[in-house]
Structure 1
Amino acid sequence: MTAPPAAVQDSPGEEELARGLAEGDEACLAAVYHRWSALVHALAVRSLGDAREAEDVTQQVFLGVWRGRHGYRPERGAMAGWIVGIARRKIADALSARTRRLDLLTSVASAGAPLAGRHADEPSEAVLDRVLVGHALAGLPPAQQRVLRLAFFEDLTQTQIAERTGWPLGTVKSHARRGLHQLRRGLRDGPRESPREEESRVRGR
């Protein structure tokens, strides 16, 4: 069996870790991650309700630890408290980003607004990738997916979507309204596993 890295095996104290971080010792960063990443991830999951988003936040936290390592002062408190403080800020940033996505969807759904609903100065990929691509859109019924994909990815209005699909305009509006409602709920509550995903996860244990 391969022995763990010395920094982890020797269980260095916080003073040693702080000194190593300040000196740019990546082994100390690895030890810090090994010791506190589970705590950070648990905090993020509890706040965000999404394991994958929590993984991203956890990476951002320890990137913040590395970049802000010169700002840590042991005399002001334990390293765990410092890391938790960074985690809370990163979680707050993630929640703020989620709120911005909800605001975007609300503006898209407003009466008379084209479903594309983005501002000219917003890069389409930066907005759409955050709002639509992924679990929330994939979980919608096919008709709702088609309407929203045409709207967001091809910038079609509801009238143009009706012409493209051959569906009555009222049907397009209904699919758009229901789809946006599901997306808003998904972004608010966090993505949930489908029965198939849950079964695959359980089998993989």
Structure 2
Amino acid sequence: MVRERVRFGGGRPVPQATDGEDPVGALLVRTARGDEPAFADLYEQVAPRVYGLCVRVLRDPGQAEEVSQEVLLEVWRRAARYRPDRGTGLVWVLTVAHRRAVDRVRSAQARTDREERAAATAAPESGDEVAEQVTIRMEHQQVRRCLRALTELQREAVTLAYYHGRTYREVAELLAVPLPTVKSRMRDALIRLRDCLAVAR
């Protein structure tokens, strides 16, 4: 089955800061306090930029989709690490995205190098290489396991928003439910995902 390309491009443009204001930074500060509506607004503003950066680094829409989802979950879980005195909120989010994307490139390159060495020498992988691959697979499995722990309605909303890049309004239209209901589902789902991933660590 052909995988649908994520549509992060449909979000609202990030407002330009004026007179020292940083709207994305303000939303990050509120998100760090557990303000789910603030994260909903943050998602709408930064998701297209996150996906665009990931596509430029990875040059693969499928991988960019996966990494974008991981980045947005990391922003939700670790917003408290943002420090306004060290830069704007958008720069912080894009730094997280760039690091994740580069890590994926390095992981893929390391895997390719190992496979080439293994093919040339028929030697087994070292313990460190095996441990690295196991860690990567476990992280992906944890995200999938936590998604399965959601209710069907929560999983639908999260899948449409994160895997297919839909805005909350588009999710509401696709599921034929009121926008406040979608926001409530997403809020509860994000809390459950955050708690599940925290336990898995």
TM-score (norm 2): 0.49
Of the two, which has the highest radius of gyration? 1
